[in-house]
């Protein structure tokens, strides 16, 4: 079925959200490079997303894209449908009872930290420095400053591929270091978050420290995806990369940041292929140097361009 026909069928069935074809999705990721998505769908609200999921063909590939701060979109782009939750329909943050916030999964981590400050809730300052949204934070169990998203989560509302709603308690999410074991089939819609009472002064101070620390040790103004690799059990990933001589290593327009060598950056004209090849080259060199296996934290999605491939070690 052509994309045009699919869109017409979905609209005729009452799906109201926005459709966009041939979208330069890679340019929307923080790396600002990579291919196009055949079709991007932004549902109007939860009911609209459910209607869409009930109608699309079961074999249609689906990807969910948050703010794109942990994504590398390969140069050949993405087939099927990419779902993006709009801030309008899914970005709300509402105080809920005492010590709780009900947050839509399109809300940015920064806006959650700001809302927690207003509500006098501590333990959210780490979100002030993470450039993603709540959906990505849940899927990645994003963390910093010795706090993980998991610690703030009471309950998550999610929808599956058939459009059925699921309520997951924190323990059902299978959180571990930068990982959530909840089914990949689930799209997170909103979550109930909690934190202890704290004074506005203490929260503001913690947020300012987060910002200051990041600006001094991370290339936060570069086109990057944050930490490229998860920390292995033995040491920090950056230590293994540094020891293997890969600080500043460059392939095409891709470079392991001289400032923080577990951050990969697009210095200007990198392709997604440059970046992925650089990452896999680093993994190989680190393994040869120290026997340490580094595992990607950045999610790589989509197809290689014609003629490209990366042979996995």
Ligand X SMILES: Cc1cc2nc3c(=O)[nH]c(=O)nc-3n(C[C@H](O)[C@H](O)[C@H](O)COP(=O)(O)OP(=O)(O)OC[C@H]3O[C@@H](n4cnc5c(N)ncnc54)[C@H](O)[C@@H]3O)c2cc1C
Chain residues that interact with ligand X, rule: CB under 6 A: 30, 64-71, 85, 105, 129-133, 135-137, 139-140, 142-144, 187-188, 220, 224-226, 299
With CA atoms as reference, report the closest residue to 90 among 195, 194, 188.
188
What's the closest the beta carbon of residue 281 comes to ligand X, in angstroms?
21
What's the closest the beta carbon of residue 224 comes to ligand X, in angstroms?
5
What's the closest the beta carbon of residue 144 comes to ligand X, in angstroms?
4
Q: Catalytic one among 157, 178, 214, 285?
A: 178
Nearer to ligand X, 220 or 310 (CB): 220
Residue 101 and residue 115: Cα distance in Å, rounded? 8
Q: Catalytic one among 46, 222, 276, 297?
A: 297
Nearer to ligand X, 226 or 279 (CB): 226
Residue 280 and residue 222: Cα distance in Å, rounded? 21
Nearer to ligand X, 101 or 285 (CB): 101
CA–CA distance from 116 to each of 165, 170, 183, 245, 304 (Å)?
A: 27, 19, 29, 42, 41
Tell me if residue 215 is catalytic. Answer: no
* Contact criterion met (CB below 8 Å) for 115 and 101: yes
Tell me if residue 297 is catalytic. Answer: yes
What's the closest the beta carbon of residue 215 comes to ligand X, in angstroms?
11
Residue 257 and residue 275: Cα distance in Å, rounded? 12
Residue 249 and residue 245: Cα distance in Å, rounded? 8
Tokens of 136: 């990505």
Q: Catalytic one among 108, 227, 276, 283?
A: 227
Tell me if residue 79 is catalytic. Answer: no
Q: Which sequence positions are flagged as catalytic? A: 178, 227, 297
């Amino acid at each position: 079925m052509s994309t045009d026909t699919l869109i017409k069928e979905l609209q005729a069935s009452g799906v109201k959200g926005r459709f966009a074809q041939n979208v330069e999705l890679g340019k929307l990721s923080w790396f600002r490079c990579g291919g196009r998505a055949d079709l991007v769908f932004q549902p109007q609200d939860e009911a609209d997303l459910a209607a869409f999921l009930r109608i699309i063909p079961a074999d249609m590939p689906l990807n969910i894209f948050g703010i794109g701060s942990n994504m590398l979109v390969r140069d050949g782009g993405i087939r099927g449908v990419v779902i993006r939750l709009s801030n309008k329909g899914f970005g709300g943050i509402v105080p809920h009872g005492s010590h709780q916030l009900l947050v839509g999964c399109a809300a940015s981590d920064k806006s959650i930290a700001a809302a927690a400050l207003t509500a006098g809730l501590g333990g959210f300052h780490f979100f002030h420095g993470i450039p993603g949204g709540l959906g990505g934070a849940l899927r990645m169990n994003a963390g910093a400053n010795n706090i993980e998203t998991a610690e703030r989560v009471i309950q998550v509302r999610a929808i599956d591929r058939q459009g059925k709603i699921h309520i997951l308690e924190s323990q059902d999410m299978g959180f571990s270091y930068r990982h959530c074991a909840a089914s990949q089939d689930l799209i997170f819609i909103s979550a109930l978050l909690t934190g202890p009472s704290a004074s506005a002064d203490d929260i503001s101070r913690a947020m300012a420290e987060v910002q200051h620390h990041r600006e001094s040790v991370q290339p936060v103004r570069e086109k990057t995806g944050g930490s490229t690799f998860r920390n292995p059990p033995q040491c920090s990933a950056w230590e293994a990369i540094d020891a293997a001589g890969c600080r500043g290593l460059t392939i095409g327009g891709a470079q392991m940041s001289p400032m923080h060598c577990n951050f990969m950056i697009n210095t200007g004209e990198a392709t997604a292929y440059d970046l992925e090849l650089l990452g896999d080259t680093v993994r190989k060199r680190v393994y040869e140097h120290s026997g340490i296996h580094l595992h990607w934290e950045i999610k790589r999605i989509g197809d290689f361009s014609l003629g490209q491939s990366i042979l996995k070690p």
